[in-house]
Structure 1
Amino acid sequence: MQIKVDAEGDDAAAHDLYYWLRQDRELRRHAKADLTQAAEASDRMNAGEIINMFVSNGLAAASLLVNIVVAWRAARPSPQGTVTFDRDGTTVTVHDTSEETLRRVVDLLASAPPGGASGATDTGESSASSGSGNR
């Protein structure tokens, strides 16, 4: 799975989230994170950094990852921007921390990969958003 951060001009945002993920001992039991340079840095990702996560399937690991991202977003002094989770071609973009958004991310992370293979590519895209704004 890849995690991309668009923090509206904050070039260090992906690195900061990566640090948060690496510091959580419980998450380290279920996941491994690597910070890499994107092959193509887009306008949406100023620094062009991507967090590659190798997460064990399961609701506990998914919920833990989502909770850490929510805490990271809440702790940021500047506008949070978006965090995009991409797993096997399925994408969920987090614009807020509404219950619906969090449920969709957990569902994406806890589900089996499309087609039953970790290398499967599906073109499905989902964008989770809420009119309630950032919390």
Structure 2
Amino acid sequence: MRRILVLFFVLGYFANTSNGQTKTAAQTVQDFYKWYTTKGAMLEWRQVLKRPEFSPAFRKRLTVFYQKMEKDNEGGYDPIVQAQDFDDQFKIKPISSAATKATFELWMFGGKAATVTLNNVANQWLIDDIKGVQ
């Protein structure tokens, strides 16, 4: 009986790991902005930065940005959407994609709002930069 239970758990583990496909870069950025525009933007910034989609380096840069905003008593600007206002009706358009880096445009209100760069680290796509339109 014990062997059957061990075998059952081992088979279950392998079934889960084989079905647990990693997200593509496009899925990662789409899922993140869907979450952010419907729920995340209403959270305190420290909660947002706990999301697994951010690279450690980008999380650190965002932390510095938000801490400076708090220190200077500034507010209103959102570095995630690169604007003060945002729309939950957004589009993600691919610009480039390689094995380790992908870049997308974030479109809101009918225009380009930001460029989002993801890096593939340990087979996981992470948002590493968000730049506004120049």
TM-score (norm 2): 0.28
TM-score (norm 1): 0.28
Task: Answer with 1 or 2: which has the greater Rg.
Answer: 2
